Amino acid sequence: MAHDAPLLMSFAEGDRSMAGLLGGKGANLAEMTRMGLPVPAGFTITTEACRDYLSHGRIPTALPDLVTGALTRLERESGRRLGDAADPLLVSVRSGARFSMPGMMETVLDVGLTDASLPGLVARGGERFAWDCYRRLVLMYGRTVLGIDPASFEKAAEAVTGPAGRDESLLDVADLKALVTEFRQVLRERTGDDLPQDPREQLDRSIEAVFASWNSPRANVYRAHEGIAADLGTAVNVMEMVYGNTGPRSGSGVCFTRDPATGEARPYGDYLRNAQGEDVVNGSRATVSLADLSDLEPTAYAELLGHLDTLEHHYRDLCDVEFTVENGRLWVLQTRVGKRSPAAAFVLAHEMAEEGLISRDEALLRVNGLQLESLMHPQFAQTSESRLLAEGLPASPGAAVGEAVFEPADAVRLAAAGTAVVLVRTETSAEDVDGILASAAVVTARGGLASHAAVVARGFGRTCVTGVMSLTVDSAARTARTSDGATIQEGDLLSVDGTSGKVFAGALAVRPSEVAGALESDDPAEDTEQPVVRAVRSLLGHADARRRLAVLANADVPADALRARRLGAQGIGLCRTEHTLLGERRVLVERFVLDDDRVSALAEMERLATEDFTGLLRAMDSLPVVIRLLDPPLHEFLPGVEALATEVARVEALDGEADSSLTRRLRVVRSWQQVNPMLGLRGVRLLAVFPELVDVHVRALVNAADALVREGLHPRPEIMVPLVADAAELRAARTRVEQCIARTRGTRASSLHIPVGVMIELPRAALTAAALAEHADFFSFGTNDLTQTTWGVSRDDGQTGFLTAYLTSGVLAHDPFVRLDETGVGELVEVAVGRGRSARPDLGLGVCGEHAGDPSSISFFDRVGLDYVSCSAPRVPIARLEAGRAAVSATDVVGSDTR
Q: Which of 845, 701, 702 is nearest to 772 (CA)?
A: 845
Residue 108 vs 793, nearer CB to a copy of itself? 793
The dihedral through the CA atoms of 18, 22, 25, 28 has a sign that is: negative
Bridge partners, residue 758, by sequence = 721, 779
CB of 787 to a copy of itself, least distance (A): 9
C-beta atoms surrounding 297 within 10 Å: 22
CB of 759 to a copy of itself, least distance (A): 11
CA–CA separation, 695 vs 703, rounded Å?
12
CA–CA separation, 885 vs 895, rounded Å?
11
CA–CA separation, 223 vs 226, rounded Å?
5
DSSP helix/strand/coil, 243: coil
DSSP string, 59-75: --TTHHHHHHHHHHHHH
Residue 375 vs 762, nearer CB to a copy of itself? 762
DSSP H helices, 227-297, are 277-281, 290-296
CB of 701 to a copy of itself, least distance (A): 24
Residue 248 vs 792, nearer CB to a copy of itself? 792
Q: In this structure, are residues 495 and 384 in contact, taking their beta carbons and an 8 Å threshold?
A: no
Q: Which of 438, 488, 490, 494 is nearest to 462 (CA)?
A: 438
Q: In this structure, are residues 672 and 634 in contact, taking their beta carbons and an 8 Å threshold?
A: yes
Q: In this structure, are residues 299 and 318 in contact, taking their beta carbons and an 8 Å threshold?
A: no
Which of 133, 575, 848, 871 is catalytic? The answer is 848
The CA-to-CA distance between both ends of the chain, in Å, stands at 24
CA–CA separation, 864 vs 843, rounded Å?
14
CB of 826 to a copy of itself, least distance (A): 9
Residue 522 vs 642, nearer CB to a copy of itself? 642
Task: Give helix then strand counts, H and E, for the chain.
Answer: 36, 31
**775: annotated active-site residue:** no
Residue 739 vs 750, nearer CB to a copy of itself? 739
C-beta atoms surrounding 82 within 10 Å: 21
Residue 402 vs 683, nearer CB to a copy of itself? 683
Residue 363 vs 793, nearer CB to a copy of itself? 793
Residue 34 vs 598, nearer CB to a copy of itself? 598
H or E, element range at 109: strand 107-111
CA–CA separation, 180 vs 607, rounded Å?
84
H or E, element range at 572: strand 572-576
CA–CA separation, 629 vs 613, rounded Å?
13
Question: Which residues sit at the interface with a copy of itself, rule CB under 8 A?
Answer: 641-642, 645-650, 652-654, 674-681, 685, 688-689, 723, 725-726, 728-729, 732, 761-764, 767-768, 785, 788-794, 796-798, 801-802, 805-806, 809, 811-812, 821, 823-825, 827-828
Q: Which of 617, 627, 633 is nearest to 683 (CA)?
A: 633
Residue 82 vs 772, nearer CB to a copy of itself? 772
DSSP string, 480-504: EEETTS-EEETT-EEEEETTTTEEE
CB of 728 to a copy of itself, least distance (A): 5
User: How many CA within 13 A on the CB side of residue 827?
Assistant: 6
CA–CA separation, 836 vs 833, rounded Å?
5
DSSP H helices, 234-289, are 277-281
CB of 808 to a copy of itself, least distance (A): 10
CB of 56 to a copy of itself, least distance (A): 22
Residues in the chain: 899
DSSP string, 282-315: S-SS--EEHHHHHHH-HHHHHHHHHHHHHHHHHH
CA–CA separation, 299 vs 38, rounded Å?
14
Give the amino acid at 714: H
CB of 422 to a copy of itself, least distance (A): 24
CB of 806 to a copy of itself, least distance (A): 6
**319: annotated active-site residue:** no
Which of 452, 542, 635, 697 is catalytic? The answer is 452
CB of 684 to a copy of itself, least distance (A): 9
Q: In this structure, are residues 425 and 480 in contact, taking their beta carbons and an 8 Å threshold?
A: no
Residue 127 vs 659, nearer CB to a copy of itself? 659
Residue 281 vs 811, nearer CB to a copy of itself? 811
CB of 850 to a copy of itself, least distance (A): 17
| 891 Cβ contact partners less than 8 Å away, ≥ 6 residues apart | 361
Residues labelled catalytic: 452, 848
